[in-house]
Amino acid sequence: MAKIDRNSIKDAQRIFEKLIPESSSRLKVVEFLSNAINYADILNSQKWNLNLDINGQFIRFNVGHEYCIEIKKNEILIICDRTTLKPIMRDLKIPLIFRGHIKKQKIHSKNIDEVPDCLAKTKNSIGCLLPTKGIEKYIDYFITSNKDFIKEAINTCQLPQMREAHSKGVIEYLTKNYSGEVSSPIYELTNLPTIDEFIEDEKLKIKRARKLSKSKRLEKLKKSITKPKRKIVSQFVFQRNPYVVAEVLERANGICEKCGKRAPFLKDIDGSPFLEVHHIIPLAEGGNDTIENAIALCPNCHRHAHYGKKTY
């Protein structure tokens, strides 16, 4: 077979149909993979990629440094979190083989307790090897534990060569065959640094500055420019539901729903109490944009919620 063009939707379609011949199973895998991609993109749009093998042997979804879902001829490997998967699998009869690794050696068993972690960098990771034929009957059982794995894997480092192997063609194919929109990683949309990268770089510089002696810092301050440079960065934002914000603010009626104190000031624009609407389960962690998942906070409690989670 000639080498694959990773940016070609036609090549992506050809390989999907080769690896999963049954149309109903293929469409269900498309749905599962698309949902996993969108979830990883919400967590961190710069730390995932979709690799279409240039020889057409596999399609692999990577999160951070880890592979997450791998589709081969008539089979799929889904990496899950063992702790949330085990109780789900207890009473189910599924044609499933668990996979783990001891260094480079693959360990397979039908018993989840006999298999070590699949990936060294992600604790409690377990590989689930399944035939794709008929997978539409049971693949949904793996959604939660796969997302729990993604949440851990997103914290590992993604290598530049993984980004270079990203396939636009597969994303186009998924978008065409999935009922919703499928995300693209932010590095495919812009070569600008992300706001997260900018903030992390700033934190590192501040950390280094605090390690200097006071005299050293004062010496550097004398040589520093007083007007800060401007830098353009890229950022994904959530389009929040304005009706949720309005309802939560009306419910609070000017009182912080955490500390019970009145809003610290009134806004110049309309004289309304200044409170900020915070999502209890963050949108970036898959939380819903609903009244039930939102709370009105004063600025102090809002900062506490983000930067002092252990004591909030």
pLDDT of 201 > 60? The answer is yes
pLDDT of 25 > 60? The answer is yes
Who's near 206: CB < 8 A, 6+ residues apart? none
Q: Are 255 and 297 in contact (CB under 8 A)?
A: no
pLDDT of 1 > 60? The answer is no
Name the more confident of 287 and 167: 167
The CA distance from 111 to 97, in Å, is 8
Whole-number pLDDT of residue 2: 63
Based on the fold, state whether residues 280 and 231 are members of the same structural domain: no
Who's near 271: CB < 8 A, 6+ residues apart? none
Q: What is the pLDDT of residues 270-297, one digit of tens each?
A: 999 999 999 999 887 778 999 999 999 9
Q: Residue 4 falls within a domain, yes or no? A: no
Q: What is the pLDDT of residues 113-157, one digit of tens each?
A: 999 999 988 999 999 999 999 999 999 999 999 999 999 999 998
Based on the fold, state whether residues 226 and 267 are members of the same structural domain: no
- In this prediction, residues 48-65 reach a mean pLDDT of 95
Based on the fold, state whether residues 183 and 199 are members of the same structural domain: no
Q: Residue 1 falls within a domain, yes or no? A: no
pLDDT of 193 > 80? The answer is no
CA 268 to chain centre: 38
Q: Could you tell me the CATH number of the domain that includes residue 293?
A: 1.10.30.50
- In this prediction, residues 222-233 reach a mean pLDDT of 84
Based on the fold, state whether residues 155 and 252 are members of the same structural domain: no
pLDDT of 232 > 70? The answer is yes
- In this prediction, residues 299-303 reach a mean pLDDT of 96
Based on the fold, state whether residues 90 and 49 are members of the same structural domain: yes
Count of domains observed in the chain: 3
Whole-number pLDDT of residue 172: 95
Based on the fold, state whether residues 196 and 170 are members of the same structural domain: no
The CA distance from 133 to 130, in Å, is 9
Domain of residue 87: give its range: 9-187
Burial class (CB in 10 A: 0-12, 13-18, 19+), 186: buried
pLDDT of 236 > 80? The answer is no
Looking at 187, 202, 221, which one is the last position of a domain?
Answer: 187
Q: Residue 297 falls within a domain, yes or no? A: yes
The CA distance from 165 to 4, in Å, is 12
The CA distance from 55 to 76, in Å, is 18
Q: Residue 105 falls within a domain, yes or no? A: yes
Q: Supply the angle between the helices 23-43 and 9-19 in degrees, to the nearest 10.
A: 120
Mean pLDDT of the chain: 92
CA 35 to chain centre: 11
